[in-house]
Chain A
Amino acid sequence: MLSQQTSSRIPASVSRRRFLVSSARTAGAAALMGLGVGLYSRQSVSLSAEALRPPGALTEKDFNSACVRCGLCVRDCPFDTLSLAKLGDPATLGTPYFTAREIPCEMCDDIPCVKACPTSALDHSLEEIDNARMGLAVLLDEETCLNFKGLRCDVCHRICPAIDQAITLEHVSNVRTGKHAMFIPTVHSEHCTGCGKCEYGCVLEEAAIKVLPIRLAKGELGQHYRWGWEEKEKAGHSLVRPDIEHQYNLPEGQRYDYEGEGLIFDERDRENSGSRSDESPFASDPLETLNRGLKESP
């Protein structure tokens, strides 16, 4: 009643001005708060590389607009893989993620987490778990990977649910020993689901192979790039016309035979370099072969 009495005494123009000023002040404060929230949320949507999204998750931008942070996917995961990000966790507050090194995705056939999602932030059109792309495994550290040392660890390869497809072992000669093979774990993105089993299984203190978000792990070719050999296969014939002679800039003493023999070293150079390609790398005494390299070391 008090306010009504006073307002009736104040001229309309003054009370209108007061109303406008206070409205503007409130609006300004709300806008400032909004700006703060906006900036903060922008900052906090950057998903850390060690946090992986559940299968079928939309791209990060779409995911953040679709996920209502309810945690139903977390509840329906039978392996407790997923958790909702708490304040201070490496994902947007309240959104689901998992850490491969702690609990990887077990790739359930019926994909219960996706079915549980009420908003399709986990895309319901994902029906085959093999088509999930939670991330991409990358063998990050060749310096500590045991297979790169020539050992047969192979754990990442053997634990992979898509063994021999997502991770293959590629044979490479072991330069260190000179006669063994190295079995290099090699990831193929067309099969890797990013489940994280390899990272989980890696026997090292810190995994040498890690699953990264695809945006970090995958390169992208320029639109205009073509692989010559693929184009040749598509066309069914060589795309290079034979009347155009290839120009090679070769080092001195080397030439190229276009008729099929390929790169040719001039005899003179060969002798100088003292190539011993005909000789066997093994000495007649096996013990000498094993001890080779020790004499030179200090």
Chain B
Amino acid sequence: MKTRRHSGAEAIQGKGWLLAHKWLLARRFSQLSILTVFMLGPWFGLWIVKGNLNASLTLDTLPLTDPYVLLQSLFAGHVPETSAIIGAVIILVFYLLVSGRVYCSWVCPVNMITDLAHWLRERLGIKSASNISKNTRYWLLGVTLLLAFAVSNIAWEAVNPVSMMHRGLIFGMGMAWIVLLAVFVFDFIISRRGWCSHLCPVGAFYSLLGTHSPLRVRADARAQCNDCMDCFMVCPEQQVIRPALKGAEKGIGPVITSPNCTNCGRCIDVCSKQVFHFGLRFNNSTDDTAENNKYENKHPNNKHTNQAT
């Protein structure tokens, strides 16, 4: 640990800074432009989208509803109007296709806070390890639904930092920044990727939508992996990589199938060996020689650069 190696340094060297941050930049662009479209109304009176991530109306016609908040409302004993149900179905179908946790990495505004916390944490070499189980979020998901039923109130919305931040930016923050600061401090000092990857029941809900979604990150060129660990270092859900990347001998296919993969594409960015790419979950056989050859042909020098670095 004398010289802390910056994750992705090799990739930057190999393909240039821009390509080594391609998906990260795309993600930030996505997060910020979704936020901007919501802000155009209150800022400039340009009402393309009204509402917030919980429920919105685009161009006065397209309703979108967060299925998780609607589910809590159902548990609390309220049957909503059809427009809310239509909006939730649209969102459900979308995330069933692209994988639920795309919401976390491409849409949710809190991701920018927790990513910043993680970035700072890595930079400053903070190594505190908390003992929170990654399953806590699923327990919390269950608890929030039970709670809605028990107190006949969408109780989680009283503390949910996700909607608090998005609503706060659009409708006025009030004291909500304290909660966001708490999330930042929690991720920065207390627990690595603590909020998004351990506790957040919103992410847990959306991950359940991603169990069978076709869009996945694939490690088809896993034979090229030089064990630099960069993908592992940047991944917010480290446990999802190993089976796909290192499972060739155990008969595990190259597709990252875990619903907790957020499809953020950061592993694709930081890999200097082009091991990862976005693809479909189908054709997930261990006999990946065909796929492998395809990538080997594309990058014939990979073996040599491997030795050089």
Q: How far is the CA of A290 from the CA of B173 in the complex (A)?
A: 60
Pairwise interchain contact B47-A75, C-beta atoms closer than 8 A: yes
Which of chain B's residues has its CB closest to A4's CB?
B250
Q: Give the residues in chain A near B178, CB-CB below 8 Å.
A: 87
Using CB atoms, name the residue of chain A closest to B135. Answer: A26
A119-B80 contact in complex given A26-B133, A84-B167, A87-B175, C-beta closer than 8 Å: yes
Interface residue from A65, A71, A93, A120 paired with B152 (Cβ < 8 Å): A65
Nearest-neighbour CB distance to chain B for A263, whole angstroms, equals: 55
User: A71 to chain B: which residues have CB within 8 Å?
Assistant: 50-52, 167, 170-171
Q: Are B172 and A84 in contact (CB-based, < 8 A)?
A: yes
User: Within 8 Å CB of B135, what residues of A?
Assistant: 23, 26
| Residue in B153, B159, B174, B242 whose CB lies within 8 Å of A65 | B153
Bound-state CA distance A64–B69 (Å) is 12
Query: How distant is B238 from chain A, measured CB to nearest CB, in Å?
Result: 12
From the candidates A65, A83, A117, name the one contacting B154 in the complex (CB within 8 A).
A65
Question: Measured between C-beta atoms, what is the minimum distance from A292 to chain B in Å?
Answer: 58
Asked whether B174 lies within 8 Å of A88 as measured between CB atoms, the reply is: yes
B41 contacts partner chain A, Cβ-Cβ < 8 Å:
yes
Q: How far is the CA of A117 from the CA of B139 in the complex (A)?
A: 31
Q: Does B65 contact A (CB under 8 A)?
A: yes
Give the complex CA separation of A83 and B172 in angstroms. Answer: 9
Given A64-B154, A87-B179, A118-B83: A74 touches B171 (CB 8 Å cut-off)? yes
Query: B87 contacts which chain A residues (CB < 8 A)?
Result: 118
Contacts of B246 in A (CB 8 A): 1
B172 pairs with A86, CB closer than 8 A:
yes
Q: Which residues of B contact A1 (CB under 8 A)?
A: 242, 246
In the complex, whether A68 has a CB less than 8 A from a CB of chain B is: yes
Q: How many A-B residue pairs have CB under 8 A?
A: 170
**A162 → B minimal CB distance (Å):** 29
The verdict on A30 contacting chain B, using a C-beta distance below 8 Å, is yes
Main SS of chain A's interface residues?
helix
Query: How far is the CB of B229 from the nearest CB of chain A, in Å?
Result: 13
Residues in B whose Cβ lies below 8 Å from that of A76: 50
Least CB distance, B152 to chain A, in whole angstroms: 5
Q: Please tell me which stretch of A31-39, A145-153, A227-235, A280-288 contacts chain B, meaning at least 4 of its Cβ atoms lie within 8 angstroms of it.
A: A31-39
Q: Is A101's beta carbon under 8 Å from chain B? A: no
The answer to whether A42 touches B78, judged by C-beta atoms less than 8 angstroms apart, is no
Q: Nearest-CB distance from B138 to chain A (Å)?
A: 8
Question: Which B137-164 residues have a C-beta within 8 angstroms of A?
Answer: 139-140, 142-144, 146-148, 150-159, 163-164
A93 to B164, CA, bound (A): 9
Q: Please, which residue of chain B has its CB at the minimum distance from the CB of A33?
A: B140
Q: Is A44 an interface residue (CB 8 A)?
A: yes
A21 CB to nearest B CB, Å: 11
Tally of A interface residues using CB under 8 Å: 48
Cα of A31 to Cα of B150 in the assembled complex, Å: 13
Complex contact B78–A93 (CB within 8 A): no
| B interface SS class | helix
Would you call A214 an interface residue if the criterion is a C-beta within 8 Å of the partner chain's C-beta atoms?
Answer: no
Closest residue of A by beta carbon distance from B49: A75
User: How many Å from the CB of B28 to the closest CB on chain A?
Assistant: 25
Contacts of A70 in B (CB 8 A): 51-52, 54-56
Task: Tell whether A40 is near chain B: CB-to-CB under 8 Å.
Answer: yes
- Cβ of B66 under 8 Å from chain A: yes
A129-B133 Cα distance, complex, nearest whole Å: 52
| Given A41-B151, A71-B167, A75-B51, CB of A34 within 8 Å of CB of B144 | yes
* CB-nearest residue of chain A to B55: A70
Among the listed A33, A74, A89, which residue makes an inter-chain contact with B143, where contact means beta carbons less than 8 Å apart?
A33
Report B41-79 CB contacts with A as 1/0, cut-off 8 Å: 100000100111011110000010110011001001110
Contact with A along B72-95 (1 / 0, CB 8 A): 010011101101100100000000
The CA of A11 and the CA of B143, in the complex, are separated in Å by: 33
The residue in chain B whose Cβ has the minimal distance to the Cβ of A84 is: B171
B176, CB-defined interface residue at 8 Å: yes
B243 to chain A, nearest CB (A): 11
Interchain CA distance A89-B51 in the complex, whole Å? 19
In the complex, which residues 241-259 of chain B have their Cβ closer than 8 Å to any Cβ of chain A? Answer: 242, 246
Residues of chain B within 8 A of A65, CB atoms compared: 73, 76-78, 148, 152-154
Q: Which A residues are CB-close (under 8 A) to B292?
A: none
Given contacts A41-B151, A118-B80, A119-B81, 10 further A-B contacts (CB under 8 A): A1-B242, A22-B133, A25-B133, A41-B159, A69-B54, A69-B154, A86-B172, A88-B175, A92-B153, A92-B158
22 contacts between A and B (CB under 8 A): A1-B246, A26-B139, A27-B139, A30-B136, A38-B150, A41-B147, A41-B158, A42-B155, A61-B152, A61-B153, A69-B157, A71-B51, A71-B167, A72-B51, A76-B50, A86-B171, A86-B176, A89-B174, A118-B63, A118-B83, A119-B81, A120-B81
A residues touching B (Cβ–Cβ < 8 Å)?
1, 22-23, 25-27, 29-31, 33-34, 37-38, 40-42, 44-45, 61-62, 64-72, 74-76, 83-84, 86-89, 92-94, 116-121, 124
